[in-house]
Structures are given as structure tokens and as C-alpha cells.
Structure 1
Amino acid sequence: MIKNFLGLIIFLIIQVISLDNAFAFNDHNVREFLDERENLWPELYLPNFKFSNTSRDLIYPNWFEGNWLVTSQDLEDESQAPVIYKVNFFKNNLNQVIGNRSKNSESIGKAIFGDTLIKVVNDPKSINKQITYLKDDLYIDSRITGRNQIKDDDMFFADELVIQTLHKPGASRVNQVETISKFQKCNRHNSNSENTLKPNICGFQYIATYGSKVGDPSVHAIKTSKFKLSFEFIES
């Protein structure tokens, strides 16, 4: 996430050129990987993240910064009412736009679980770990084990794999969940909002659940879902 700049100007120039080429190469391969994952849905199998970098958080385009009201519609069951929640994205100390992970997870959790959810806490030592506390002494320990992403001025495209362990008195259950996210600024004809502050964000999320066989590449998804998401900018 942080580039180590050395003192010599000539070395700096060579270093920057080399890094730019390396990132361009990696972006091309990651884009192929992400396109393949999207095209495979719903016949997904446990992903092999060749270019994964879990030392870096997901970095979003600048147009994600701010507070948003999200409407998520389950395309596999459109009879279900959309899930509506608020999310926040902000700039870190490297001027990169990142998601407010605990706040966003808590907002989504409240929309799904209601009062059953108590709170969501990030691990202060890792951007990849989070604990969700529920009533009745239940809690979910989530750990991201794979992450690929690309972004530009027009698109955000990412894939994350998380191992979730549900702890309850006397027992635990392990599950693996893959989330593929692809977002872009909405076209005017796709947006019902007249908000002139920021364009709405449109996109899809593909969710695949794999069960407890961690690391077995032959495992196929036991459940898949596809959601259509729209983000409307709000002041707070």
C-alpha cells in the first residue's frame, strides 16, 4: 500500500517507470480473472487468487467518497423487498478512498438482522478481520483470505473471499463466502435521482457460498445469489 521512495532522483524515475509497468501487467491479469469469475456465475468454484494482495484494503474511485443510501434488490427472488442501508467511504491518510468497514457492515447487518445484531468490531491489527456480535451469545468471526481488484475513473471491480465462523454456545460452524462487486457511475436513463451533487452509482454483486472445505479448489458453490445495487448520494 505504501511505496518506499528512495533518495536518488535517477533511481526514483526508474523505480516509478518499473512500478507503473508492473501494475499495468497485474491489472490486465486481474481484469481477466475478474471477468472470468463474473462470466462463470452461477457455476462458480472456490477461487484461486493468483494476484491477491490482502495487505491492501479495497481502494475505491474518488467518486465513491461520501455517504450513500444503497438499495439492494435480489435478482434471484424479485418478490423480496429491496434491502436499504447507508454506507460511508472516506479518504485515508494516503488520500485513497476506502470503505468504513465496521460502520458499513453494521448498517447492512441492521438492515438484514434487525435488533438481533448488537455491533460490528474491526480487528485493530488487521484490515482483514472483523467480528459481528449478535444476541443469544452468538458472534461471527470473519477473515478475508483473498482479494483482487481493479479501478479506474469509470469502474470499480473486485472479488473478495471471506471465511466466516459462526460461534454459538457449544458449537461453531465454518463457511466461505465470495463476493464479486462491479460498480460504475449510472447513466442518466438508469438513474431516478435528480441529485446534482454526485451521480448515482449502479452495479451488481455476485455472492457465492462454498461451505467449510477451506482451500479445496474443486469445491463448487452450494448457493449463489445476484443483487442489483444502486447508490444515491446523501449529505449524512
Structure 2
Amino acid sequence: MKILLGLILCLIFQGIFLENSFALVDSNVREFLENRVNQWPELYLPSFKLSDTSKDLIYPKWFEGNWLVTSQDIVNDSEEPVIYKVNFFKNDSDLIVGDRAKNSESIGKAIFGETLIKVVNDPQSINNQITYLKDDFYIDSRITGRNQIQDDDIFFADELIIQTAHKPGASRINQVETITKFQKCSEEILEVDNSIKPSICGVQYVASYGSKVGDPSIRAIKTNKYKLKFEFIES
């Protein structure tokens, strides 16, 4: 993102121009994300004008490690919370990313139990994943839109996924939008020796749009809102 200084003032001014451009893009994305949250649950199929699906979701550095997640349905608070483990690690570019297959499988096990067999990433794309379940049932997931802000203090992102559920003799398409906002829990204070990581708190807004792919007039047919808390674990 930053241009190395050199070759007199020309490159200096060019670097300043580009940094301001990135700041403008980030500002526009933040506005888009805030609008999505404010519009929930009255959501229509999003238009990701600034989407870049060539890059994975990047998390703040304090996400690195293993976490026990408790997800509570806010709309239907009588529902039992879903509890699962997730992992975030440093990739070859020194950026923190989620272990997509492992994390998806962990969530799937918490929801589907023994019905889930495995989750497999597409080795050719970070955006494609297949979830295999019993009885020849599998779900093909493809991320078609992704927006996030770059901020060390907060994780704020939106993804649109086309899910195709396949079972013998039938297939069904659904579009799912997930808006996620995470930050360090405000009540948490780091231990003096920094051996304990602060918990992470956040909210996920989920909207389903059905099978009419790309139609911006489509209104969400189902919405959910979840409160999540991440507690650091050693393994």
C-alpha cells in the first residue's frame, strides 16, 4: 500500500496521493458497512461496489490464536447458544487470517453434529468451500462479494455467499449475507504480565435472500442477529 520514497519529489507526491486514495476507499467502505447495520433487518441484496474477493479477510493482530466462541441468537434468546472453537493464524504475508476449513467444520459440528462429515476448501480459490454431510448431501459455498475496513482496533466486514445445497435428485440456491463487527470486550483488562489475551466481543447480522442471484430489488426473506464472545484458549 505504501510507495517507497525515492527519485526526488515526484514519487513523494505520488505516494501521498495513493495513501489518501486508500483512506478514501476505507472511508467509503466504513460508511457502506455502517449503513448495512443501520438498515438491518430491512435489508435488500447488497451491491459491493468496492468489493475485492481476490484478498482474504484480514483480522487485527489480537485475533491470532485459538478461541472458544459462544454465539447467542439475540432475536430468539430462548435458543441455546452455539459453542465452538476457531483458529486464526499468521500467513506468509505476516497477516492474520482465519483457518476457513477448520473453523467452518468446527461451527458445522456444533450445529449439525455427527451429520457433518467434513469441510473442504477449494485449493484454487479462497472464496470456494464445500461442506459434506451424510446421505449424499453437500453444500457448495461461493463468496461473491467482500468488503472490510482496515483498522487495528476493530474487525468490521461484510460477505455475500451463494450457497447451493445438493442432495440426490434436487438442488437449492440461497444467498446469504453476513455482516460482522468485532472488538476487544470493553470490560476486559489485560493481565500485568500480558499472558492472558482479552476476550473479543461482537455481533453478526445474517440475512438470507433466496435464489434470485444479483437482483438488487430482492429483500431479505430471513434475518438473524447473534451476539458472540471469543475466549482465548491455549489449544
TM-score, reference length from structure 1: 0.92
1:107 paired residue number: 106
1:180 paired residue number: 179
Change in CA separation of 1:90 and 1:13 when aligned onto 2, cut-off 3 Å:
farther
Match of 2:149, SS state, is: strand
Instruction: Detail structure 1 runs of 4+ shifted over 2 Å in the superposition.
Output: 3-6, 8-19
Aligned-residue Cα RMSD (Å) equals: 2.0
2:157 paired residue number: 158
Identity %: 73
Aligned letter for 1:155? I
Structure 2 Cα separation of the partners of residues 189 and 129 of structure 1: 36
Aligned letter for 1:171? A
Does the Cα contact within 8 Å between 2:204 and 2:227 map onto a contact in 1? Answer: yes
In the TM superposition, 1:58-207 aligns within 5 A as: 58-188=57-187, 197-207=196-206
Q: What are the superposed Cα offsets for residues 96-126 of structure 1, whole Å, 9 maximum, x if unpaired?
A: 0000000000000000000000000000000
1:43 paired residue number: 42
1:225 paired residue number: 224
Q: What are the superposed Cα offsets for residues 124-160 of structure 1, whole Å, 9 maximum, x if unpaired?
A: 0000000000000000000000000013121110000
Count how many residue pairs are aligned between Structure 1 and Structure 2. 230
Structure 1 Cα separation of the partners of residues 15 and 179 of structure 2: 30
Deviates more, 1:42-51 or 1:16-25: 16-25
Aligned letter for 2:138? Y
Structure 1 Cα separation of the partners of residues 2 and 170 of structure 2: 45
Structure 1 Cα separation of the partners of residues 116 and 35 of structure 2: 35
Aligned letter for 2:174? N
Structure 2 Cα separation of the partners of residues 157 and 142 of structure 1: 21
Structure 1 Cα separation of the partners of residues 67 and 88 of structure 2: 8
Does the Cα contact within 8 Å between 2:3 and 2:15 map onto a contact in 1? Answer: no
Structure 1 Cα separation of the partners of residues 169 and 107 of structure 2: 27
Structure 2 Cα separation of the partners of residues 143 and 14 of structure 1: 40
Change in CA separation of 1:62 and 1:210 when aligned onto 2, cut-off 3 Å:
same
TM-score, reference length from structure 2: 0.93
Structure 2 Cα separation of the partners of residues 142 and 154 of structure 1: 29
Does the Cα contact within 8 Å between 2:2 and 2:15 map onto a contact in 1? Answer: no
Aligned letter for 1:82? P
Does the Cα contact within 8 Å between 2:188 and 2:199 map onto a contact in 1? Answer: no
1:9 paired residue number: 6
Structure 2 Cα separation of the partners of residues 16 and 91 of structure 1: 27
Match of 1:188, SS state, is: coil
Structure 1 Cα separation of the partners of residues 48 and 91 of structure 2: 26
Provide structure 1 residue ranges, at least 5 long, that are not aligned to the other structure.
none
Cα offset for 1:88? 0.4
Aligned letter for 1:208? A
Does the Cα contact within 8 Å between 2:59 and 2:95 map onto a contact in 1? Answer: yes
